């Protein structure tokens, strides 16, 4: 395990204003600061690019683009990819968001352990099959893989979304694992307990 003190989290007040503002906004919304926001902030230029890329893919509407994937489907790709890459931070953090978006408290654990056994429709199974091939053997992708997607209604823009999310979180997974980033304890339980009225 990477020594936890190798890349200490910076103090929020030492960060550039734009990072600080965005982080406070996230804290306001989530109730805590997910560690990735602080861990990457030690290098502001990389931080800005990372989250700009993240937002372009995960909240395409902010970039004036619509996507054929739902928010939950995008998080499902992240969870499956992160499990394939054995990235603790991303499986736990994005598994939480997946549960919330899909309103399915069990789906994140299922996708993380074996997406083939998850309780998801064939469309999402095909989506994850494509993502896993991009994750593990992108050089073997060929037209047959696009056709398998098309059989479930995914067009080439959707394929780009799936591939790009998989590729981006492959980057994220490697950064988190190499640097010893640990998920905030809050993530583990999020979306597991139905809200009471």
- Give residues 11-40 in contact with a second copy (rule: CB under 8 A): none
Per-residue binder mask for a second copy (CB under 8 A), 64-83, x = binder: xx----------------xx
Q: Which stretch binds a second copy (CB under 8 A): 18-26, 27-35, 48-56, 68-76?
A: 48-56
Q: How far apart are CA 55 and CA 63, in angstroms?
A: 8
Rounded to the nearest whole angstrom, what is the least distance from the CB of residue 81 to a second copy in the complex?
10
Q: How far apart are CA 170 and CA 82, in angstroms?
A: 7
Residue 83 CB coordination number (10 Å) = 24
Rounded to the nearest whole angstrom, what is the least distance from the CB of residue 98 to a second copy in the complex?
13
Which of 16, 25, 151, 174 lies at the binding interface for a second copy (CB under 8 A)? 174
Q: How far apart are CA 156 and CA 169, in angstroms?
A: 20
Q: How far apart are CA 114 and CA 98, in angstroms?
A: 15
Rounded to the nearest whole angstrom, what is the least distance from the CB of residue 160 to a second copy in the complex?
7
Which of 21, 138, 151, 153 lies at the binding interface for a second copy (CB under 8 A)? 138
The residue (of 72 and 183) whose beta carbon lies closer to a second copy is: 183
Give the length of the chain. Answer: 197
Which of 23, 36, 37, 50 lies at the binding interface for a second copy (CB under 8 A)? 50
Under rule CB under 8 A, which residues in 96-125 are in contact with a second copy?
A: 105-106, 109-110, 112-114, 116-119, 125
The burial of 84, by beta-carbon neighbours within 10 Å (0-12 exposed, 13-18 middle, 19 or more buried), is given as: buried
Evaluate whether 169 touches 58 at the Cβ level (below 8 Å): no
129 contacts a second copy (rule: CB under 8 A): no
* CA torsion angle 192 194 196 197 (round to 10): 140
Rounded to the nearest whole angstrom, what is the least distance from the CB of residue 56 to a second copy in the complex?
4
Residue 193 CB coordination number (10 Å) = 9
Rounded to the nearest whole angstrom, what is the least distance from the CB of residue 13 to a second copy in the complex?
20
Rounded to the nearest whole angstrom, what is the least distance from the CB of residue 28 to a second copy in the complex?
24
């Amino acid at each position: 395990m990477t020594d936890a003190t190798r890349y200490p989290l910076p103090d929020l007040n030492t960060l550039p204003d734009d990072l600080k503002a965005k982080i406070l906004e996230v804290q306001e919304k989530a109730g805590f600061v997910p560690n990735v926001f602080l861990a990457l902030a030690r290098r502001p230029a990389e931080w800005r690019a990372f989250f700009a890329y993240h937002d372009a893919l995960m909240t395409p509407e902010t970039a004036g683009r619509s996507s054929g994937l739902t928010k939950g489907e995008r998080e499902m790709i992240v969870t499956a990819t992160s499990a394939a890459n054995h990235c603790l931070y991303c499986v736990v953090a994005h598994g939480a968001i997946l549960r919330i978006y899909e309103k399915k408290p069990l789906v994140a654990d299922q996708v993380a352990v074996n997406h083939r056994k998850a309780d998801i429709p064939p469309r999402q199974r095909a989506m994850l099959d494509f993502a896993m091939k991009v994750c593990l053997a992108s050089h073997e992708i060929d037209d047959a893989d696009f056709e398998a997607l098309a059989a479930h209604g995914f067009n080439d823009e959707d394929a780009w979304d799936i591939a790009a999310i998989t590729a981006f979180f492959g980057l994220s997974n490697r950064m988190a694992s190499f640097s010893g980033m640990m998920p905030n304890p809050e993530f583990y339980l999020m979306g597991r307990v139905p809200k009471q009225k």
